[in-house]
Structure 1
Amino acid sequence: MAKIIDDETMENVCILAKLSLTEDEKEKAKEDMQKMLDYVDKLDELDTSSVEPMSHIFEDENVFREDIVTNGDNHEAMLANAPKQKENQYQVPKTIG
């Protein structure tokens, strides 16, 4: 049996969600929440005893591939764009004292 959404529950939800609702909005929200709980109760009526638990809805497994470098080492071209170089590396300003 579904829990009945009462004024106290609605007030707690408003506090937790940081909502400021008018009385009309609270009543509408209570009706909507009650419909959701009723729907969940309806789902509980289903016989799931023959259904095995699962962690995912799809039976796909991870597909792994080899990590193969395809763009190669373009070291010289990258260093050509560097404003300063030192020992075949980018030279950057010192950032700590």
Structure 2
Amino acid sequence: MSVDQNTVRRVAKLARIAVNDEDVAAMQGELNAILGFVEQLGEVDVTGVEPMTSVIPMEMKKRQDVVTDGNKADDIVANAPATEDHFFVVPKVVE
């Protein structure tokens, strides 16, 4: 895939990057080099290669998946002007 100068200007506009007319040619070469590298990666045979999260095998730390209130209800409403049963009390707005 090859990128032309109009595409470079469009990508720069979408990325909100100010590109001068004299810089368009240089950026076109850089974008074409990046796309060439991506195409080269697509040619690599990865059959049988499992995805990994790290270069060394390690088990991810996991926590128990339990629902709690965070044990911070008192701290959350501590500065509220009015509370009731760990809830904020606000004036009625809708009748």
Partner of 1:60: 58
Contact 2:3 2:32 in 1 (8 A): yes
Q: Report the number of matched residues.
A: 67
Counting aligned pairs with the same residue, the percent is: 20
Q: Which amino acid aligns with 1:32?
A: E
Match of 2:38 in 1: 40
- Partner residue, 1:15: 13
Structure 1 unmatched ranges of 5 or more: 65-93
Partner of residue 24, structure 1: 22
Evaluate the alpha carbon distance shift between residue 21 and residue 95 of structure 1 in structure 2; reply closer, same or farther with a 3 A threshold: same
CA positional deviation for 1:55 = 5.0
| Distance in 2 separating the partners of 1:56 and 1:50 | 16
Using structure 1 for the length normalisation, give the TM-score: 0.54
Give the aligned CA root-mean-square deviation in angstroms.
2.7
CA drift of 1:63 comes to 4.1
Structure 2 stretches of 5 or more lacking a match?
A: 63-78, 83-95
C-alpha spacing 1:34/1:96, structure 2 compared with 1 (3 Å): same
Q: 1:42 to 1:95 in 2, by over 3 A?
A: closer
TM-score, normalised relative to structure 2 = 0.55
CA contact (8 A) 2:9 2:19 kept: no
